């Protein structure tokens, strides 16, 4: 009788019902119909409100992340994290944003639909693994609390020993701890901002000239990094003068980094290109393009 009633089949009574049985059946019908109506309203709301769509969209994002390799992970989408993400996007560098705030997570997806973003705590290993840390080439953590950044650095270094880790620090002394934890670079925005403002007083033209060169909105000037491993075999083991870059493409070699990490500004023409070294070339878009064609560099 219960199956016949809740399925609304409407066959005859299996056996004669008493008055109490009929009252029970009436409540059963009302309850079953109410449950069915509630279920329909929940499912409709789930679809109409976009939850169903968001679920499959999150699945699609996760599938895209699993296919990534050599990408950058940005932990935290605050002032520094969002700026890092925007620059990476403008440079057409693949990246994944990790955000712990559900409200900020939804805001990012609505405002920047092309960004790959996941919801989770970056201090947890599972979240970093979901972001593809094992296949990533770099991680930027700009969480507002130094201790949280420390946890991210420690976890990231264990999960991917070859990862380049860049972190933010607010308090004096935190930078040393973060470096000991495994960070390659520690940025202190307050100190950088204060030093920049002071330099605008003491050396305004130099600072403004550097800002002009390095501004992300300046699409005509490029400062290109050239790794020794990217050079054709015919160029390896030669000097900067042998490359003859200035005459062939118009760009200038303004810096050189040795395999030991030492920087040489305006290197001498007889500087020998050795394994593990890097060149830094300055020029406009046309000059840099010629340089890449000359050295057979694809990126």
Tell me: do 73 and 166 sit in the same domain: yes
Tell me: do 108 and 171 sit in the same domain: yes
- The predicted model gives 278-283 an average pLDDT of 88
Tell me: do 106 and 142 sit in the same domain: yes
The more confidently predicted of residues 230 and 268 is 268
Structure confidence by residue, pLDDT tens digits, 135-164: 999 999 999 999 999 999 999 999 999 999
Q: Quote the CA–CA distance of 117 and 96 in Å, as a whole number.
A: 6
Residue 106 reports pLDDT greater than 80? yes
Q: Where does a domain end: 140, 171, 187?
A: 187
% the chain with pLDDT above 90:
34
Cβ neighbours, 10 Å, residue 287: 21
Q: Is residue 75 part of a domain?
A: yes
Tell me: do 84 and 147 sit in the same domain: yes
Tell me: do 72 and 145 sit in the same domain: yes
Q: Is residue 28 part of a domain?
A: yes
Tell me: do 183 and 89 sit in the same domain: yes
Point out the least confidently predicted range of 38-52, 78-92, 111-125.
38-52
Structural domains in the chain (count): 3
Tell me: do 17 and 87 sit in the same domain: no
Q: Is residue 234 part of a domain?
A: yes
Tell me: do 125 and 176 sit in the same domain: yes
Q: What is the pLDDT of residue 23?
A: 85
Tell me: do 84 and 149 sit in the same domain: yes
Q: For position 148, which CATH number holds?
A: 3.40.50.720
Q: Is residue 197 part of a domain?
A: no
Tokens coding 54: 């968001």
Q: Quote the CA–CA distance of 107 and 109 in Å, as a whole number.
A: 5
Q: Is residue 288 part of a domain?
A: yes
Helix 51-67 and helix 19-48: axis angle, to 10°?
50
Q: Is residue 61 part of a domain?
A: no
Point out the least confidently predicted range of 26-30, 94-98, 257-261.
26-30
- The predicted model gives 166-178 an average pLDDT of 89
Q: Quote the CA–CA distance of 174 and 104 in Å, as a whole number.
A: 27
Q: Quote the CA–CA distance of 8 and 164 in Å, as a whole number.
A: 64
* Residue ranges making up the domain that contains 261: 219-295
Chain centroid to Cα 156, Å, comes to 14
Q: Is residue 110 part of a domain?
A: yes
Q: For position 248, which CATH number holds?
A: 3.30.70.1450
Q: Is residue 9 part of a domain?
A: yes
Tell me: do 131 and 234 sit in the same domain: no
Tell me: do 152 and 42 sit in the same domain: no
Q: Where does a domain end: 164, 187, 210?
A: 187
């Amino acid at each position: 009788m219960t199956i016949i009633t809740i399925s609304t089949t409407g066959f005859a009574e299996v056996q004669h019902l008493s008055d109490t049985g009929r009252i029970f059946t009436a409540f059963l019908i009302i309850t079953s119909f109410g449950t069915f109506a509630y279920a329909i309203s929940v499912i409709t709301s789930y679809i109409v409100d976009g939850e169903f769509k968001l679920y499959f969209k999150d699945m699609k994002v996760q599938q895209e992340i699993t296919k990534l390799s050599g990408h950058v992970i940005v932990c935290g989408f605050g002032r520094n994290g969002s700026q890092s993400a925007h620059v990476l996007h403008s440079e057409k560098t693949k990246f994944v944003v990790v955000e712990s705030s559900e409200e900020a997570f939804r805001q990012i997806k609505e405002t920047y639909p092309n960004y790959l973003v996941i919801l989770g705590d970056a201090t947890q290993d599972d979240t970093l693994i979901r972001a593809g840390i094992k296949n990533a080439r770099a991680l930027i953590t700009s969480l507002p609390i130094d201790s949280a950044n420390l946890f991210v650095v420690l976890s990231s270094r264990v999960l991917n020993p070859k990862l380049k880790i860049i972190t933010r620090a607010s308090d004096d002394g935190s930078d040393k701890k973060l470096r000991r934890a495994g960070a390659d670079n520690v940025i202190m925005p307050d100190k950088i901002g204060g030093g920049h403002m002071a330099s605008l007083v003491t050396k305004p033209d130099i600072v403004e000239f550097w800002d002009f060169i390095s501004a992300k909105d300046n699409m005509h000037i490029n400062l290109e990094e050239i790794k020794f491993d990217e050079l054709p075999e015919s160029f390896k083991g030669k000097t900067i003068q042998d490359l003859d870059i200035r005459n062939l493409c118009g760009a200038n070699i303004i810096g050189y980094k040795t395999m030991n990490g030492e920087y040489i500004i305006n290197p001498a023409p007889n500087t020998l290109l050795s394994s593990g070294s890097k060149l830094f070339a300055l020029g406009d878009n046309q000059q840099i393009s010629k340089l890449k064609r000359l050295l057979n560099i694809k990126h």
